[in-house]
Amino acid sequence: MALKYPISVTRTTESRLPTVDFENIPFGKVISDHMFIADFNGEQWINPRIEPFHKMEISPANLALHYGQSIFEGMKASKRNGEPVLFRAGMHARRMNVSAERMCMPTIPEDLFLQGLKMLIELDGDWIPEQEGYSLYVRPIMFATDEYFGVTASKTYRFLIFTGPVGPYYPKPVSLWVEEVFTRVANGGAGEAKCAGNYGASLLPAQRAKNNGYDQVMWMDSDEKKYVQEVGTMNLFFVIDGRVITPATTGTILRGITRDSFLTLLKDWGYIVEDRLLSIAEISDAYWRGTLQECFGAGTAAVVSHVSSITWRDRVFDLPPVDETHRPVGTRLKNYINHLRMGRVEDDYEWLDSCRNSGVWDLVEETSAEAVSSL
């Protein structure tokens, strides 16, 4: 990969890798050695660098803390025949810029995003688990850095990427509560952006559902509480009478990259696929007719999360057991993505990006880990 940006590299002097139990990894709590950082000075992105992971000082007047200019992405790195690879990294970079535009933030050049990301993954490649269903989770984030409390868009920003090894997000099927009081987002809102506020607002409804014995919530539309939208933080898929149906992305649903991949695969595999509005009443009718065959969430963290039951008011829809016989669609999709990452199937769609950069480390400027910059 040709270097376009001069990225300095400060390696850690003491890796934490030997302390990690890769057979017992709690999701999101183990963080790798390094992170990539770049700053926006009001005109351009400057000082791209890789440093040891560290805490940052933030002023109490930081605009992101007050007005929510904070966005993020979620993606995964895995090892395919021993080589670090990313899944559809360019699509994640483009989606992050869509979020940035919606939140009145500067976009980051995709080639800078990808160059810094691939160098970071190569540097921390030993942190990538090799068991099926495990991966190195990648978290790019961008947030405002101006320091005053007037309600306005910040002029300066920080972009960074850090990683951490993870196991399966949902190791077992989940039970859902159909949420008809709270809504995830409204028409004209920021539903298609991966901004922090969307997720902060989802925590109370999710906690209420868990307190009542459910694993997650099924979100409905904000206008009529009639149409299904998402499950927790994932896109939704249903198999009804042999047809695969996913709620349409009409501005209130995140345009999932796993979702997009599944639509491509399903159409190529010959399934009847419908990308449209889907009401909870239609789902209920299908259940009582015996034609509701599968329901699963689709997202980066879980890939596929099978749904065991759906509770809508006083009605409980129990779904079939999770195996290749009763859940052929969701199981096939999950197996395909996992096997693609591990090198068991060919990359026919060119979805994988190699992080092996021959010669790159001879060209970048490396510095000692004596000091790292802070906000």
- Overall average pLDDT of the 189-215 stretch: 95
Share of the chain above pLDDT 90, in %: 86
pLDDT tens-place string over residues 93-140:
999 999 999 999 999 999 999 999 999 999 999 999 988 889 999 999
Q: Which residues contact 287 (CB under 8 A, 6 or more apart)?
A: 310, 317
pLDDT, position 233 = 87
CA distance 293 to 320: 7
- Overall average pLDDT of the 354-374 stretch: 55
Q: How far is CA 263 from CA 157, 240, 336, in A?
A: 35, 16, 13
CB atoms < 10 A from the CB of 350, how many?
7
pLDDT tens-place string over residues 211-255:
999 999 999 999 999 999 999 889 999 999 999 999 999 999 999
Q: How far is CA 113 from CA 48, 96, 260, in A?
A: 10, 10, 21
- Overall average pLDDT of the 267-273 stretch: 98
- Overall average pLDDT of the 199-220 stretch: 96
CA distance 232 to 310: 13
Asked if the model's pLDDT at residue 367 lies above 60, the reply is no
Fold agreement (8-169+350-367, 174-321):
no
Q: Which residues contact 24 (CB under 8 A, 6 or more apart)?
A: none
Residues in the chain: 375
Domain 8-169+350-367 has what CATH class?
alpha beta
98, amino acid identity: V
The torsion of the CA quartet 331, 332, 338, 341, rounded to 10 degrees, works out to -170
Q: Would the pTM of this model clear 0.85, i.e. be above it?
A: yes
Half-sphere exposure of 341 (CA within 13 A, CB side): 25
CB atoms < 10 A from the CB of 50, how many?
23
pLDDT, position 364 = 57
Report CA 370 to chain centroid distance, whole Å.
Answer: 33
Domain ranges of the chain: 8-169+350-367, 174-321
Of 261, 362, 341, the closest CA to residue 83 belongs to 341
pLDDT, position 301 = 87
pLDDT, position 283 = 98
pLDDT band at 359 (very low <50, low <70, confident <90, very high): very low
Asked if the model's pLDDT at residue 324 lies above 70, the reply is yes
CATH of domain 174-321: 3.20.10.10
